[in-house]
Amino acid sequence: MERGLDILVAEDNEVNQLVFTQILGETGYHFEIVGNGRKALDAFGKLNPRMILMDVSMPEMSGLEATAAIRQLEAEMGTRVPIVGVTAHALKGDRERCLEAGMDDYLPKPISPKALLEKLERWLGSDAEVRRNAG
């Protein structure tokens, strides 16, 4: 039986796509990378990922818009995938914008391998303690 997708990455920047590929490639998790929010929305419906790393600023459909669309679909399905917003904007309140859009967490750029691995453990790990401390 084919294994399901662990991590969907939505990121339009090629350098950051490479960074994600290098870090995630060493984890053993099954991941896919798409280049805009529209494709992320499509991939969410087709691949049913266990978590999503969502760049905020992308062409065609931003990460915030894609997250809102995913949350609408989920409201009908009664499911909720963890979405971690990824953004280079060091603006104060950026994390709040991600959370307001329906994201669960936030990962700042430049992407640090340690910080990314911590997010994977937090949202893919089955440890209830990790989830209880979320937020």
Under the rule (CB under 5 A), what is the footprint of Mn ion? 12, 55, 57-58
Smallest distance, Mn ion to C-beta of residue 1, A = 35
Q: Which residue is nearest to Mn ion (CB)?
A: 57
Question: For strand 83-87 and strand 51-55, is the pairing parallel, antiparallel, or unpaired?
Answer: parallel
Smallest distance, Mn ion to C-beta of residue 73, A = 23
Smallest distance, Mn ion to C-beta of residue 63, A = 8
The phi and psi torsions of 16 (rounded to 5 degrees) equal -70, -30
> In this structure, how many other beta carbons lie within 10 angstroms of the beta carbon of residue 74?
14
Comparing CB distances to Mn ion, the nearer of 30 and 109 is 109
Comparing CB distances to Mn ion, the nearer of 75 and 91 is 91
Smallest distance, Mn ion to C-beta of residue 53, A = 12
Residue 131 DSSP SS3: helix
Comparing CB distances to Mn ion, the nearer of 69 and 130 is 69
Q: Is 118 exposed, middle or buried (0-12, 13-18, 19+ CB in 10 A)?
A: middle
The upper half-sphere exposure of residue 35, i.e. CA atoms within 13 Å in the direction of its Cβ, equals 6
Question: For strand 105-108 and strand 51-55, is the pairing parallel, antiparallel, or unpaired?
Answer: unpaired
Comparing CB distances to Mn ion, the nearer of 15 and 75 is 15
